[in-house]
Amino acid sequence: MISLDYKLAFIIPYRDREEHLAMFVPHYRNLFPDADIYVVHQLGKAPFNKGMLFNIGFLYVEQRADAFDLSDVDMLAVEGHVDYSFPRAATHLASAASQFGYKMPYPIYFGGHVLVTAEQMRSVNGFYNDYPGYGCEDDSFYRSFVNKGLPVDRRYGRYESLPHNRHVDHDEHLMDLFNRNWEHFKSVPRDYSNGITSCKYDIAAVHQLEGYTQLDVNI
């Protein structure tokens, strides 16, 4: 169990990962009994839009917590090897995940678990909404801070990744743009008008489930 001096909420973009969610919820409930867990469930068959689901979850919980862990459903924090102290800047936590051999997969990796305050999230208008598919929205998020000259932070954090098949829903456009070529990618401007403030969606249902809240959303 980890005690915190602020209110923490987990925001998890989610579709079709029942086994992972069934492990995520009890794991983080035990670790952080006072934190809240919000699962943002994308309905329908359209490409999974991870960035937009983070925006939607954030808008729902913004007033209900002090900081938010933008979480993959399949990375479980290892007690004693993560630092969830209050973030002074947008903070990458999942720097040592088992799926990447407990090290950074590439130098600017900013995914898996990222701890932000509402102010930090708002400072870049959250995530860009219109990348079809997913993958690289975390790189884009990182760029959003760097391009504005805003600080980011990274901590050592050990996570056990749950196994799954490699997805095929990647955003090929963004992959091409980025192509792990950070010097190029950071020079491509982010449209800051596209984000939390322009996010169009419909919450079809809110379910209070055992240990977490699930938002069913149409995007």
How many Å apart are CA 99 and CA 154, to the nearest integer?
A: 18
Looking at residues 105 to 164 of the shown chain, list those that interact with ligand UDP (rule: CB under 6 A). Answer: 164
Does 137 bind Mn ion (CB under 5 A)? Our answer is no
The CB-of-99 to ligand UDP minimum distance in angstroms stands at 6
- Sites for ligand UDP among residues 56-115 (CB under 6 A): 72-74
113-127 in b/e form (b: 16+ CB < 10 A) is bbbbbbebbebbbbb
Residue 18 found at the interface with ligand UDP (CB under 6 A): no
The correct pick among 8, 11, 12, 25 for binding ligand UDP (CB under 6 A) is: 12
Q: Would you count residue 138 as binding Mn ion (CB under 5 A)?
A: no
CA distances to 20, 170, 197 from 166, rounded to whole Å, are 14, 10, 32
d(CA 146, CA 70): 18
Q: Find the shortest distance in angstroms from Cβ 65 to Mn ion.
A: 24
Q: Which does 13 bind (CB under 5 to 8 A by kind): Mn ion, ligand UDP, none?
A: ligand UDP
Token readout for 201 is 């969606």
Q: Report the interface residues with Mn ion, using CB under 5 A.
A: 74
